[in-house]
Amino acid sequence: MQDDRLRILIVGAGEVGFHIARRLAVENKDVVVIDRSEAALRRVLDHIDVQTVEGSGASPRILIDAGIKKADIFLAVTDSDEVNLIACFLASSLAPDILKLARIRNEEYHDFQDTLSQSIHRLGAVINPDAEVVNSILRLMSAPGAIEINEFAEGKVQLIGVRPPDDNPAAGRRLMDIRGMAPDLPFIVGALVRQDRLIIPGGEDTVEPGDAVYFACGCEDRKAVLELFGIKPEPLREILIIGGGNIGQRLARQLEEGPYHVRLIDKSEERCNRLSESLNKTIVLHGDGADQQLLQEENVHGMDLVAAVTGNEESNILSCLLAKRLGAKRAVTRINKFEYMPLVQAIGIDNLVCPRLSAINSILRYIRRGNVVSAQSIKGEDAEAIEAIVDSSSELAGQRIMDVKLPRGILILSIIRNGSVVLPTGDTVIDAQDRLLFLSTRGNISKVEKKLSVNLDFF
């Protein structure tokens, strides 16, 4: 019997490559990981049931040995932009028809993305995780009080995570009763996180103190739903950025376009001089973001948001904790290690952003079967929100949602039809060309793909 599993080659066994490989292996994809580091490959083999090849992804012989000519997708996700680009160039020569994705951080390469796409056949995307991190921070700033915000359908639908106060109006109520509190307010609770365990709930489930609640709604209804859960966002004005690298500079430049007063602290005097020349309104300060005296001098107690985005995650965490203790209203920290995610939230930092997780989210939509438009991890990697277009040949087309018989752990959050958002009921009929937003636990992703797939040769 022919093996119709998707075959994916991953160059780079670092954090991005490791976590992409782990996720895809769980979904029964055929994965090969290439890396020069024996230790990195040993870590992969110790935790994941995939194939590995030791060597450089920029070597044509290694790519051939790894089976590139039989692959469907090629991912170049090392920490080196140049290695990733060379690997894609070689892949384009050896296997022109497979889809190729490159992780690239240098903005200069992004300025020439069209040129790269012309030179590399089927280059699906040049992924810049730093840009995605900045976008994540800006989304969080648009709804103070949220712990996570993901956008779908060009921003028409948002999936928002909140941690309601214990005395919120919905506390202790069943989800079906919460809907009755605001019958004309269109939203769906898609997930609860209780004691670090993700639950795809039913109507009988209740919102308990300490729960994180994830709900989907139209952008225009966000404020009302937040208030339903006891969260009244206050506008942000005073922003402090700690770290003037690629992310800090990009974030400051974006904030200068809005109604914000922005300060930026960096340890490097040389970098501060460059930032002062390139930024227009931002006040650039030379110093250590973990220096209590400096933070006090800069009135950190009056800051609406402190964003620590240096490349040192331990320093970021320390700076945020110190800023919060000194009176800052909210703090967001950049981390790289996935293992730090539960720790950061447990110790009282409001939000976290992760360039590596952003890179993974950008990659996911190209890997998913069916007409997938976007995919986002929820609560680290426990679940995934998938936005996809229903093809007329799909088994979903023409069915009522109650007749689709989705397994437990999969929920249809919304339908975007002719540009309008429809929050579905069991009687809602799915039409061809509808955009569906699913929420699925990680183990059920392949079942969602099967529902969406028209055939197995969509590439």
Terminal-to-terminal C-alpha distance of the chain: 21
Is pLDDT at 44 greater than 90 in this prediction? yes
If asked whether residues 332 and 364 sit together in one domain, one would say no
If asked whether residues 209 and 299 sit together in one domain, one would say no
Cα–Cα distance for residue pair 225/230, rounded to 1 Å = 9
If asked whether residues 377 and 404 sit together in one domain, one would say yes
If asked whether residues 250 and 316 sit together in one domain, one would say yes
Tell me the per-residue pLDDT of 99-153, one tens digit each, with 9 for 90 and over.
Answer: 999 898 887 776 676 677 667 766 767 788 888 899 999 999 988 889 889 888 8
Is pLDDT at 455 greater than 70 in this prediction? no
Tell me the per-residue pLDDT of 18-39, one tens digit each, with 9 for 90 and over.
Answer: 989 988 888 778 999 999 999 9
Which of 66, 93, 127 finishes a domain?
Answer: 127
Task: Tell which residue, 438, 321, 330, has the closest CA to residue 390.
Answer: 438
- Give 453's pLDDT tier (boundaries 50, 70, 90): low
Is pLDDT at 213 greater than 90 in this prediction? yes
Domain assignment present for residue 413? The answer is yes
Amino acid at residue number 121: H
Domain assignment present for residue 459? The answer is no
- Give 304's pLDDT tier (boundaries 50, 70, 90): very high
Give the tokens for residue 186.
């269109």
CATH number, domain with residue 284: 3.40.50.720
Give the tokens for residue 123.
């280059």
The reported pLDDT for the residue numbered 226 is 94
Whole-model pTM?
0.85
β strands within 320-367, DSSP E: 331-334, 351-353
The reported pLDDT for the residue numbered 4 is 67
Is pLDDT at 356 greater than 70 in this prediction? yes
If asked whether residues 26 and 110 sit together in one domain, one would say yes
Domain assignment present for residue 458? The answer is no
If asked whether residues 351 and 412 sit together in one domain, one would say no
Is pLDDT at 197 greater than 50 in this prediction? yes
Does 202 or 241 have the greater pLDDT score? 241
The reported pLDDT for the residue numbered 206 is 94
The reported pLDDT for the residue numbered 459 is 26
- Give 458's pLDDT tier (boundaries 50, 70, 90): very low
The reported pLDDT for the residue numbered 260 is 96
CATH number, domain with residue 430: 3.30.70.1450
If asked whether residues 350 and 364 sit together in one domain, one would say no
If asked whether residues 370 and 408 sit together in one domain, one would say yes
- Give 412's pLDDT tier (boundaries 50, 70, 90): very high
Kindly report the average pLDDT of the chain as a whole number.
89
Q: How many CA atoms lie within 13 A of 113 on its CB side?
A: 15
Residue span of the structural domain in which 299 resides: 236-357
The reported pLDDT for the residue numbered 269 is 96
- Asked which of 107-121, 324-338, 386-400 is least confident by mean pLDDT, the reply is 107-121
If asked whether residues 409 and 383 sit together in one domain, one would say yes
> 198 to each of 193, 380, 426, 438, how far by Cα in Å?
4, 11, 23, 15
Cα–Cα distance for residue pair 46/40, rounded to 1 Å = 10
How confident is the model over 368-382, as a mean pLDDT? 75
The reported pLDDT for the residue numbered 3 is 55
Is pLDDT at 348 greater than 50 in this prediction? yes
How confident is the model over 155-170, as a mean pLDDT? 90
Which of 300, 323, 357 finishes a domain?
Answer: 357
If asked whether residues 224 and 254 sit together in one domain, one would say no
Amino acid at residue number 99: L
Domain assignment present for residue 144? The answer is yes
Cα–Cα distance for residue pair 149/56, rounded to 1 Å = 37
Domain assignment present for residue 457? The answer is no
Which of 171, 196, 228 finishes a domain?
Answer: 228
What is the domain count for the chain? 4
If asked whether residues 446 and 344 sit together in one domain, one would say no
Tell me the per-residue pLDDT of 75-90, one tens digit each, with 9 for 90 and over.
Answer: 999 999 999 999 999 9
Cα–Cα distance for residue pair 83/62, rounded to 1 Å = 14
